[in-house]
């Protein structure tokens, strides 16, 4: 309810950074509640808005969110690539994705689950592929057919 109200206000003022941040936050709430279709929609919206606004931290958080959606949908390889791309690109900005302990634990839980579905070699190879992606490559990979770059 508060997120929706905040979005309405941000849209009235054309505040792209706030719109993207709120949609990303709403996507995480949807994930926790098990609504991965809505979460995916919100993360794609976040990516597209963040591309226009230039706010990389929000964009990279959405990449990670889409990775967790892919995991929930059973696409382990896509999930790991996107999560590792998001983490690596955050590191390149000199930031830590989900710096607070609660979010780190949440992401750690997902990484451990991915580890149990892949052998060590596959996990390492897919992680390396994700870590090697540029922002543009990761966004193109995340958006697939929706890419407008």
Query: pLDDT tens for residues 11-27?
Result: 999 999 899 999 999 99
Nearest-angstrom CA–CA distance, 121 and 47? 30
Q: Are 82 and 71 in contact (CB under 8 A)?
A: no
Read off the DSSP letter of residue 148. -
Task: Give the residue with greater pLDDT, 149 vs 141.
Answer: 141
Q: Which residues contact 20 (CB under 8 A, 6 or more apart)?
A: 45, 46, 49, 50, 53, 55, 58, 59, 62
Q: Give the model confidence (pLDDT) of 57-101 as tens digits.
A: 888 889 999 999 999 999 999 999 999 998 888 888 776 665 667
The per-residue pLDDT of the chain, averaged, comes to 88
């Amino acid at each position: 309810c508060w997120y929706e109200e905040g979005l309405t206000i941000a849209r009235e003022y054309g505040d792209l950074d706030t719109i993207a941040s709120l949609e990303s936050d709403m996507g995480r709430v949807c994930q926790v509640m098990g609504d991965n279709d809505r979460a995916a929609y919100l993360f794609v919206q976040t990516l597209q808005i963040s591309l226009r606004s230039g706010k990389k931290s929000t964009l990279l958080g959405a990449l990670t969110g889409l990775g967790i959606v892919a995991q929930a949908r059973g696409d382990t390889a896509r999930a790991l690539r996107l999560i590792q791309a998001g983490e690596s690109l955050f590191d390149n900005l000199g930031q830590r994705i989900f710096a607070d302990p609660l979010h780190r634990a949440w992401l750690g839980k997902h990484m451990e689950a991915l580890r149990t579905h892949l052998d060590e070699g596959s996990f390492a190879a897919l992680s390396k592929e994700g870590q090697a992606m540029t922002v543009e490559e990761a966004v193109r990979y995340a958006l697939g057919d929706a890419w407008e770059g």
